[in-house]
Structure formats: structure tokens, C-alpha cells
């Protein structure tokens, strides 16, 4: 079992939903990003999604686009992102970390080299938004063979014909994108999300986690109540963008995790 599998098994035994937090690696700089990363588990985060900054983040809204730009301007690279994870693992060996981003930096490094370095650093899973199931041989299958979960996105436009293809090599969990569009673009509604989650769960035993459009503890609770948990990204990144100290960012994260865990 991967760290992700172990985490979901423990949450199920406790009767709790998962809270997943996203931050951009290196935003606003390496030191402050590392401090926030280190504090996420204590703030109630069950799984960490760590964004890999990229120059052309086509699925992201302006909040996360700007975070990636800040990180790149501060000198963040794929190597420095792996170094952050390696440092995190010196004090935390249980909280799963999922690297979320785009294929280009991985392709540039070389798939075999990247997978070796990622597993050595302590990465548990990948969400690569611009690699469809038709390209599974490119990264998905090698990643699974290396012991990494490959997490796929399902969306409101993933119909019953497409869904089996999306699910066929997915592991860890399914990430359901609650809205049509980019990150941070609209608010997620539990009444819309619930039936879609049920539709996906009828086709897989994997947990279904809902992201996009969740900004408040109340929204986290509502979305988690109709799924296996929720992801918050843009709302956290916006707090970082305001220049707040790590302690205030983590207090906000704690409020969100408390909301999800009430579900």
C-alpha cells in the first residue's frame, strides 16, 4: 500500500473525510514555501498537493498562474521542488505528497530520471493535467511501475462513455473537478457535485476527492459531505499572495480542514 492508500484506509476507519491542500512549490520563495509545507500536516492536512511551477499553466486560473510566476522568478525549479520534499521527509514520513503540474518539466528531465528522483525524494503520486489516458505509456504506466500513484481528473464533461477510459489506470484517488473551467473560476455546489461523485463511485472503488471552487470552511464541509473529501488550492494560494506570515496561512488552512473533517 502506498502512503495515499494508507491515509485513506485510516480515514475510513476513523469515519472522517480527507482534506487535501494545494500550494505552489517555491511561492513566494523557497524559504517561506518550505515553512508552509512543513506546517500543513499540523494544520490538519491529510494529503498535500504540491504544485510544480510551469511557464504555461493552461488549466490554472490567475491566482495559481501568478503563484507559479512568483515561484519561477524566485528561482524555483523541478530540482528545488524535489529538494523541498526531501527536507520535508526528514521530519514527516507519513503525510502523502502528490506532485501536480504539467508534463514538460518531467519530459525535459527524462521520465526515467524523474521517476527515480521523485521516489527517492518522497513523492507519492502525480497529477499531470496535460497527459490524457491515451498517453498512459508515456508516464502513467512507468510511474505506477515505480510505485507512484497516478491520479486522474474527471470533470463535469466526462460522460459515461469516457469515464472507463479515465479510470482504467488511475490509482490513489480520483480527482473530480467540480466546475467546468479553470481553477478558482467559480464556486462548487454540493447539489451539483453529489450526483456526479455517486456516478463515478459506481464505476470504481477508489476514493473520489472534489476540487476547484472551494474557498471557505462551510464549502469544504458541504463538498466533503457528498464525497470522500475535498481539495482547496486557490483560496490558500491567495492567502500566500497577500504576503501573510506562514502562521496566518496555516491558521486559514486549519479552518478549512476543520470544515472538511466536520462532514
Catalytic annotation, residues: 49, 60
d(CA 114, CA 130): 17
Distance CA 9, CA 186 (A): 31
Place of cell 510566476: 69
If we measure between CA atoms, which residue out of 260, 165, 180, 194 comes closest to residue 221? 260
| Bond into 28 cis (ω within 30) | yes
Residue 153 β-bridge partners: 175
What are residue 231's phi and psi, to 5 degrees?
A: -115, 135
Q: Which residues contact 183 (CB under 8 A, 6 or more apart)?
A: 59, 60, 61, 63, 64, 212, 233, 234
CA angle 97, 259, 176 (to 5 degrees): 55
Amino acid at each position: 500500500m502506498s502512503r495515499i492508500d494508507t491515509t485513506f484506509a485510516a480515514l475510513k476507519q476513523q469515519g472522517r473525510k480527507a482534506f487535501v491542500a494545494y500550494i505552489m512549490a517555491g511561492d513566494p520563495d523557497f524559504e517561506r514555501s518550505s515553512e508552509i509545507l512543513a506546517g500543513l500536516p499540523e494544520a490538519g492536512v491529510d494529503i498535500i498537493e504540491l504544485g510544480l511551477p510551469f511557464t504555461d499553466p493552461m488549466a490554472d486560473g490567475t491566482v495559481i498562474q501568478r503563484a507559479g510566476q512568483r515561484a519561477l522568478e524566485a528561482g524555483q525549479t523541478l530540482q528545488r521542488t524535489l529538494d523541498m520534499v526531501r527536507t520535508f521527509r526528514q521530519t514527516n514520513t507519513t503525510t502523502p505528497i502528490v506532485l501536480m503540474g504539467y508534463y514538460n518539466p518531467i519530459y525535459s528531465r527524462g521520465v526515467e530520471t524523474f521517476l527515480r528522483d521523485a521516489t527517492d525524494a518522497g513523492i507519492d503520486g502525480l497529477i499531470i493535467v496535460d497527459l490524457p489516458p491515451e498517453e498512459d505509456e508515456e508516464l502513467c504506466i512507468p510511474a505506477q511501475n515505480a510505485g507512484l500513484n497516478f491520479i486522474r481528473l474527471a470533470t463535469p464533461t466526462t460522460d459515461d462513455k469516457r469515464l472507463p477510459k479515465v479510470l482504467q489506470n488511475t490509482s490513489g484517488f480520483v480527482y473530480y473537478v467540480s466546475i467546468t473551467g479553470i481553477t478558482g473560476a467559480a464556486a462548487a455546489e454540493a447539489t451539483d457535485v453529489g450526483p456526479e461523485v455517486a456516478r463515478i463511485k459506481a464505476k470504481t472503488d477508489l476514493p473520489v476527492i472534489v476540487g476547484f471552487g472551494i474557498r471557505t470552511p462551510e464549502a469544504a464541509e458541504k463538498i466533503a459531505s457528498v464525497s470522500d473529501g475535498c481539495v482547496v488550492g486557490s483560496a490558500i494560494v491567495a492567502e500566500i499572495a497577500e504576503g501573510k506570515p506562514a502562521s496566518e496561512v496555516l491558521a486559514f488552512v486549519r479552518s478549512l480542514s476543520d470544515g472538511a473533517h466536520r462532514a
